[in-house]
Structure 1
Amino acid sequence: MELDLGAVRAFLAVVDDGHFTEAADRLGVSQQAVSKRLARLESDLDVSLLTRSRTGVVLTEDGSAFLPHARALIGLADQATALLRARRRPLRVDVLARVAAPLDVVRAFYEAGDVDVDVVVSRGAVSPHTALADGSVDVAFGRVTGPLPAGIERTPAWLEPIPILVGRRHRLARRRSVPMAELAGTTAWMPGCAGESEWADYYRRLSAEFGVVIDTSGPVFGGEHLMDEIAASAELVTFGTTRQFPVHPDVVQVSVTGPTPVYPWSLLWHAANRHPAIPLLVAHVQERYRPFDPRTQWLPDEALFSGSRRSGSRPARPTGP
């Protein structure tokens, strides 16, 4: 005997709603169809599962015994269906911001293979750990600053060099690079880079290490306003790249050296997520990662980014539910 899942769903709908009419509305079928499905199920099981009353339906003794198994059966069916659908859907990748290095990493991955990708730009509105745990995204890029929650895996992904931006009248505008020591005592104006974001934490630690003052004062009117102010000043400096802001003819980018501050991007995923494209992206990232060089680079959490290109772990390729 093989049970009809549609009939089992009809049984559960009647039990949960208490009436054939409400169950039919929930299933999107006629009341007659629900009655036929339930009758077929009772015939297959050779028992009576429900009795009608003036107030609705009542489970029989056999119906009460069958109910938990019916819920488990439908639960497993729904879980299997959801798993297969998830394996066919695009890989959801949180790149945090469209103007940051992870977008280039994901684009290179997409162009090198045949994996569909759905790019998510959270801008840190939701913790990546939360998004990975609840399945809102499959993988996420971000900076790791401490122990990871249970189930979250990581691998170093990219060390993004951070230059400065100055106006053409600034004394550094004609330089191709400037040593970090020369920036000591300089004030970098970065409105909005405050609070508890990972960006703010990074620059607080850079400030403490090299004596560069980070000024977060002033309202945030957007990148265009910031570039206008930098261009008009002979004194203002900000950290960032020209790709992060609207193009301005009077703003130039100057590399920072000795050491170069780099922003440490990690790729994060949840161990329980079995999307088949996760191992492919992890492998792509690990193959292209260049390890941290303490002689020429600086970052606030060296221990997480020192070591070989293979640092981090690859998720096992999914073999089934």
Structure 2
Amino acid sequence: MAELDLGSVRAFVAVADNRHFGEAAAQLGITQQAVSKRVARLESTVGSVLLSRLRAGTGLSRAGEVFLPHARALLAAADHALVALSGRDRPLRVDVLDTRLASADLVREFYAAADRPAVDIVTSTGLQAARPALKAGAIDAAFARLTGAVGDGVRGIPAHVERTLVVVGRGHPLAGRDRVGMAELAGATAWMPGNAPDSEWAEFWDEVSAAFGVRIDTTGPNFGYEHFVGGIAADTDRIGFIGEQCRVPDHPDVVRVAITPPFPAYPWSVLWHPDNGHALLPDLVEHVRRRFRARDLAGAWLPEGDRAAFLR
């Protein structure tokens, strides 16, 4: 029986998550050519084509869809084995979804307040990836959207409410406005290619769409924030939404417009598994608990499930 190479499996999962070989290479810290070689080696080993290379991006073949959950489980088990060997003195591993988001700011605040403890930042596609990683011990904490019981024994508490802003190109009719109400955006199309399919954040924006009549367009490969702001700058019809703390690249032809209440707000929670014995984990959870302010909900629109979770 052929043996699987973990590096090849990790490259496959990275491409499946990012839908793009270049983004996967950036995530893994290797070249795009190396990612391609690893995926090709894996496909040769399993005897199936796992990825469909299309003009619009990279998707999963039928074999890839079957293999992906097993690949994730394999990597989680390998990471858990390394964690078990490394002991409690290893850095605290925290999944922030993306280093440009408010979640990374929360960890930076903890890092500064706790006198620079050993912390490793991890990025992922959200709750679907974080849940098994928390259970396996591959990560110690994760920031995600959580409206109820997450399963696998994982716990969570409210961490932060982050208001959203509208971004438009300088040629858009809203470019000269300081603020806009969500009612005025009904019928507009918001381009958000970074919304990972079937993620908790994609679901959040589906609920925003249903509540305010804004169409959410996730088409096109997610080439990163530079491509996103460039696309917004070049379009006089589309809008985009970003978190107030999201550090998107500056662009001379992109304008940020505040949203008047009620404004959609990102509901961040911190998640962890109670069996995790890392010495720094209780400090991080307590730091988040102390800094969370329910009054930040004032003016914020949240789906009913999120609001109930943040007020209980």
Fold-level match, TM-score > 0.5? yes
Partner amino acid for 1:280? Answer: D
**Deviation of the 1:259 alpha carbon:** 0.6
Q: How does 1:310-321 map to 2 (within 5 A)?
A: none
Distance in 2, matches of 1:146 and 1:118, equals 27
AA at the equivalent of 1:207: S
Maintained 8 Å contact 1:165/1:241: no
User: Counterpart of 2:88 in 1: which secondary structure?
Assistant: helix
- Which of 233, 236, 240 is the matching residue for 2:235? 233
In the TM superposition, 1:140-289 aligns within 5 A as: 140-193=142-195, 195-241=197-243, 243-289=246-292
Alignment partner of 1:130 out of 129, 132, 146: 132
**Is the CA contact (8 Å cut-off) linking 2:127 and 2:144 kept in structure 1?**
no
| TM, length-normalised to structure 1 | 0.65
Question: Structure 1 residues 294, 97: CA separation in 2 closer, same or farther (over 3 Å shift)?
Answer: closer
Give the Cα–Cα distance (whole angstroms) in 2 for the partners of residues 125 and 258 of structure 1: 28
Name the counterpart of 2:293. Answer: 290
Q: Is the 8 A contact 1:292 1:306 kept in 2?
A: no
2:97 match: 96
Percent of paired sites with the same residue: 50
Q: Distance in 1 between matches of 2:215 and 2:227?
A: 21
Identify unmatched segments of 5+ residues in structure 2. Answer: 1-82
Greater radius of gyration (CA):
1
CA 128–187 in structure 1, closer or farther in 2 if over 3 Å, else same: same
Unaligned runs of 5+ in 1: 1-81, 308-321
Distance apart, 1:299 and its partner CA: 1.2
TM-score by length of 2: 0.67
- The structural deviation recorded for 1:191 is 2.7
**Structure with greater proportional helix content:** 2
The aligned length equals: 226
- Which of 296, 307, 311 in structure 2 is aligned with 1:306? 311
Q: Once the 2 structures are TM-superposed, how far is the Cα of residue 218 of structure 1 from its aligned partner? A: 3.2
- Report deviation, 1:295: 4.9
Contact 1:185–1:213 (Cα < 8 Å) also in 2: yes
Residues 126/208 of structure 1: CA separation in 2 closer, same or farther (3 Å cut) = closer
Equivalents in 2 of 1:142, 1:280: separation in Å? 19
Question: How big is the alpha-carbon RMSD for the aligned residues of Structure 1 and Structure 2?
Answer: 2.2
SS in 1 for 2:258: strand
- SS of equivalent to 1:161: strand
